[in-house]
Amino acid sequence: MLRSISTRCLRFRGLHTTNALRIDPKTVEEVRIPVPWGHIAGKWWGSREGTPVILAIHGWQDNAGSWDPVCERIPDEYSVLAVDLPGNGLSSHFPPFVSYTFLETPAILKRIVNYLNRGKIHLLGHSGGSAVCFMYACTFPEDVISYCGIDYLVYCYQKESARVTALSKNLDTAINLALRDPRKAKRYSWEEARDKWVAATKGSLTPLTAEILMQRGVSKLPDGRVVFSRDNRVKSADLNQLKVDQVTDMVRNYEASTCLLRAKDSMYFYSRGIKNFPGILDILKNQCRHYEYHDLEGNHHIHMDKADEVSEIYVSFLNQVKRLN
């Protein structure tokens, strides 16, 4: 049950923490990590003394609230930092005319890892956030102990022709989104915004899980209505995708212990990167010190809907990794 707590302010390793709602008996703090364009916001769950840190990355257009159901169930001894990627949740938006791209996001993670200065980390990702975590583990293998990816692994393409065909349309869309005036954003009642978010995910979110994301994903206006607070530019299609041969070269560096979870009622796990690069799973099995794959009943936001099952699998995985290291 959510409950308010007395006001207090903490400072931990330079992280600026603010008042937050606590979920009994868990401990969670709001944090702000300074970056040149503002800050990266996040929620720090569990022990701040715990190492290594679990860095949790949400999916496309979601926010750190995506991890609330799982983090509520992870033992308090674990230290989990769930962040809002730039342009989402409570994090600062990128400066004007700076694009949000898949290849930029691992650099965001590197900034966070460097700022924390806590040694090697565990990575936990959902959807697009899972792909970012995987790419980070390929790029900076020395930083990563383990990676758990939920219902996505990597996006890559085979044919240049299809990408070229879509390029002009995607560029036009990106420019038009960047020119939108946020002061003229459409206003909704709470219920309208919730239903719109559910519909946008084609039912992957439920009204309950959508409202969890809305705690960080909408801004309340004086008249009681709300506007979506994410940067319009995050909605545009990513123009910086990788070819299969590029991913093949990058994955040679990969060595993190790996746990993959696929939602059976979702199309995302096999629909893009793995469809174009089916051999990648065998590569991971052969290179990882420890490898797990789980098929679970449920839809794309399975970590929110089936948090008991997902958290049980994840904690078991972490314990196995700990025994191996």
Q: Which residues are catalytic?
A: 127
Helix/strand/coil for 187: coil
Distance of alpha carbon 31 from alpha carbon 158, whole angstroms: 40
| Residue whose entry in the numeric block shows the structure tokens 């009681």 | 224
Place of tokens 């212990």: 257
- Measure the CA–CA gap between 213 and 17, rounded to whole angstroms: 20
Return the DSSP state at 274: H
Backbone angles phi, psi at 20, to 5 degrees: -145, 160
Structural tokens at position 137: 């583990």
| CB distance 128 to 61 below 8 Å | no
The amino acid occupying position 79 is S
Tokens standing for residue 118: 């806590």
Spatial CA neighbour of 195 closest among 151, 229, 226, 231: 226
Asked whether 55 and 46 are in contact (CB, 8 A), the reply is no
Q: Across the beta sheet with 38-46, what order do the strands follow?
A: 11-12, 15-18, 28-35, 38-46, 79-83, 54-57, 121-126, 144-150, 257-263, 291-296
